[in-house]
Structure formats: structure tokens, C-alpha cells
A and B are shown apart, each in its own frame.
Chain A
Amino acid sequence: MSIGRTIICLLVALLLTSPAFGQATGTPKDMAGTGYYRDQDTLPGAIRFYSQLPGGEGGLWGLGPSRQKIRRSSFKMDAHDEVADYSPEVRCKKCHIPQTKDLHYLRMGITCVQCHRSQPVAGVYHYYSSLNPIRRHAYVCAKCHEGATPSFASYMVHEPNPIAPETRGSFPLFYYVVWFMLILASGVFLFFLPYTALWWIRELVAKLKGRPDHG
């Protein structure tokens, strides 16, 4: 029984120390935005895994998200200078539907310009863009994620659709791992749901016939 008691003590201790029980709603405490960031990653020479230049080889044996299509606007200072009907007054999501599907925007209610800093909106790879991978962690992510590093900033905020065929080329690990998990999960359901239903019917038939274990 001492193991059981240890588990209970651990449970109670963890629950009591959890900030969740002392804190009302509001912005997360670690989202206060000290702007603290780190340029140094732990792994030596790690930057080469993280640099996300479009068209380049992906990090970690090409499994990472690097082989994106190259968009001309990505390198512009004003990404919209050739967009005829653009106006800062128009909501971004009118034109950029695929970019409205991420966690930050949908669930945390973070607006586009909190990351794509003020007008004119720069292409994400423009040399002076705050979202350029060389300073993205410091200028954008660290506003909310204390201690952000270049590695952290290589997280894809607008992640591609993991099961779409294009993702196999642009982010192979994402594609293969998600497909593997989907096949595993559907395999379990496809087997167990019909099987337990049939099993139930089989027990009913056996009971009606009064022969519980015969064939």
C-alpha cells in the first residue's frame, strides 16, 4: 500500500503547487513579454538544421520543412506592392485564408500584425523583415515566448496540411509521421468497432439458443 500512498501524495502535491489553482483568467504569466531571447542553441552548429530557406534542403536529412515553393513576395519589403486591391483597411483574412488556420490565431486570438509587424507588411524573407529567420526569434516569438531561440522559431506557425500530397515534398517528416499515426488509429478502430459489435450479437445469439460456448 505504500506505493499507493506515495502516488496519492504526489498527486495532491502536484495539484496544490499548480498555478492553475491560484490564478484567475488572463494572459499567461509567461506570456508577459520581457522580450528575452537567446541566440545560442544548445547543440553545436545546430543552426544548420534550423535555417529554413525556401528551396533549400530540409534540416535533419531533408525531413524538415525547408523545401517550400519560392514566392517572389517573400523577399519584398512591401509584400503587397503588386497586389492591386490591397489596402491596410481590408482584413488580412479576406485574402489569406490558409494562414488563418493556426493555433495562435484561432485559439489564442493573436492577430496577424502581432507577428507580421506594422505596415507595410514585409515578405517573410525580406532582409529587414522581423520575420526573417535570422531575427524571427528575437523580434517576434520572444515577445511572448521567453528565451526563444532560432531553433524554436523554426516551428511552422502556419503549418501545412499534414496529409496533403504536397506536404510530402515540403515537410516530409510531418507527412509520414502523421500518416503513420492515422493508419495506426484507423486500423484499431476499423478492427475493434465492428468486432465488438459482432461479438455482442454473437453473445445474444448464444444466449437465445441457450448454448453459451458452442459454435
Chain B
Amino acid sequence: MADERTRLKRFTPVHRLWHLGLILVFMTLSVTGIAWMFFETPWGRGLANLFGGYVNVLEIHRTAGLVMLAGFTSHILYMIYRIDWKGFPRSLLGPETLVFQWVDVKGFFRHLGWVFGLNKLPHFDRWSWWEKFDYWAVWWGLIIIGVTGLMLYNPVLTSDYMPGWMLNVALWVHRIEAVLAMGYSFTAHFMIEHWRLGSFPFNAAMFDGTLDIEEAKHDHPEWIARLEKEGRLNEALVAPPPVPLRIFYFLFGYSIIFLGLFLLVFAIANAALLTLF
């Protein structure tokens, strides 16, 4: 029995559902946002026509933006609910939380040193510095893009509360943050999570909620050691999900990856056709 349980529990169903929702809404926003951004080019116009023209593209983009903000709000409520308020603020620290701590600064420099061959690979606990960065990048991104997006949602209403020329600023901030979020996800995030030799071709941890024990020994040895010491390793081990489900995760994941790469490649190829100023 024990030998079948080769995977380590890492994400709860709620986490996975959020990540799935984030993917779906983010990709909807990416496609419609890029279609609008590139509307003056034949490629962008073609994308927009898939949705029936720019009016619909903008409408879908605005609606998806609200869904995203609803998801973000529910995540914040969940977080407030999950925080251990009795032990606050000490409960925010420690290896189980995503809060940046001194170990992450050390982890960052040790990892940098490893990349340049100066020292051994640092032993990460449950979360490495780049995983925490990935998590908080969504926060900062959603705050910036959400505030400016809400401003642009109804420009007439917004200008009741601030000068109308703030919309000029909002649109540019919204654009740059969108390029940052998409550019980061479609290159660095895919690279780190899926294309590194250890995870290639596809790391399903965020989809099936578990991490291969061998992979975990390499990427998170400190976590395993801690689980072992606390005697919790055995209960954290599970069997891999059934094969059809794994195939489904793989196909779903790769269709999203290809959609992202399609947007990335064509956006770069068409960037020179854009009139920005």
C-alpha cells in the first residue's frame, strides 16, 4: 500500500478551485483585453470579431473584470477567516505561511548563488521565495489593475469623484500592468512551474493538489524533514489521481499554455503596428 502513495498533499480543493477560476478569468481578460488593445491591427480585429466586435469584447472584458474582483474579495474574506487571530501577529510567521520572512531573503541569495554554481541548492521549506512572489504578485497586480479597471468601467461615473483626466493615467497604468501580468505568466511562471527539467513537461500540483514525493525531496526537502519530525508525513501522502483525470489536467493545462503563448507571440509580432502616442 505505502509504495502507491507517492504524492504529497499540497493544495486544498479550495486553493485549486481558486487557481482554476483565476486561470479561466485571467485568460478571458487577456484575450479580450489584447483584442481591444490591438483592435487597429488585423490580428486584433480578428480576435475581436470572434466575440462579435469591440462592443462585445469590451462588455465581456468588463464583466470578467468584475468576476475577477469578486474572486479577489472572496479570497481576502477567506484569508481573514483563516488567519489565527489568537496568535496574531506571530501566527503569520513560520514555514506554513506565504508571508515573506528573513528566510526568503536568505533563500533568494542562496538560490542565486546556486544558479551561478557558488553554493549548494538551498533547502526550501513548504514555500520557496519564488512561490511566495508568485502569490503576492497576483495581489499587487490585482490591486493596480483592479482599481484602474474600476475607474475605466464607467468613465462618466468615475469623473464624478475625480478629474476626468485621471482616466488618461488609469488607462496607461492598466495597460502596463496587464502587459506585466501576461508577460510574466506566459514566460516566467510557465518556465518555473512547467518547463524546468524537474517539472517538465507539466507540473499538475495546482490541479490535482499533490506533488510528487521525489520532486518534493528536491524542491522542498526542509518541508519533508519537518513533516517527518512532526510525524505528519504519513498522513500527508496520497496515491496519484486516476489516469484519465491526469490526462485531462494535462490537456487543460497545455491548452491554456498554448493560448498564452499564442497571445504572447502574436502580440510581440504585432506590437510594431500599434499606435501608442
Contact partner of B167 among A15, A147, A155, CB < 8 A? Answer: A155
Interface segment, one of B13-21, B93-101, B264-272: B13-21
A11 surroundings in chain B (CB, below 8 A): 21, 25, 67
Contact partner of B165 among A25, A155, A164, A213, CB < 8 A? Answer: A155
Is the interface on chain A under 10, 10 to 19, 20 to 34, or 35 or more residues?
A: 35 or more
B176 surroundings in chain A (CB, below 8 A): 178, 181-182, 184-185
Determine if B70 and A7 form an interchain contact, defined as CB atoms under 8 angstroms apart: yes
Contact partner of B67 among A14, A189, A204, CB < 8 A? Answer: A14
B162 surroundings in chain A (CB, below 8 A): 151
Determine if A212 and B161 form an interchain contact, defined as CB atoms under 8 angstroms apart: no
Interface size on B, residues (CB 8 A): 67
Determine if A192 and B55 form an interchain contact, defined as CB atoms under 8 angstroms apart: no
Contact partner of B169 among A6, A49, A173, A198, CB < 8 A? Answer: A173
Interface segment, one of B3-11, B186-194, B234-242, B243-251: B186-194
User: Chain B's interface: helix, strand, loop or mixed, by majority?
Assistant: helix
- List 19 extra interface pairs beyond A159-B277, A196-B192, A204-B197, CB under 8 A: A1-B14, A14-B67, A60-B163, A106-B40, A107-B40, A146-B156, A152-B155, A152-B156, A155-B164, A164-B277, A174-B172, A178-B173, A181-B173, A181-B180, A189-B183, A198-B116, A200-B195, A200-B196, A203-B197
Which B residues have a C-beta under 8 Å from some C-beta of A?
A: 13-14, 17-18, 21, 25, 36, 39-40, 51-56, 58-60, 63, 66-67, 70-71, 74, 78, 113-121, 155-156, 159-169, 172-173, 176-177, 179-180, 183-184, 187-188, 191-192, 195-198, 218, 275-277
Which A residues have a C-beta under 8 Å from some C-beta of B?
A: 1, 3-4, 6-7, 10-11, 14-15, 18-20, 23-28, 41-43, 46, 49-50, 52, 59-60, 64-65, 100-101, 106-108, 145-149, 151-156, 159-164, 171, 173-174, 177-178, 181-182, 184-185, 188-189, 192-193, 195-196, 198-200, 202-205, 207, 212-215
* A-B pairs with lowest CB-CB distance, top 7: A161-B277, A20-B59, A213-B121, A25-B53, A155-B164, A152-B159, A185-B180
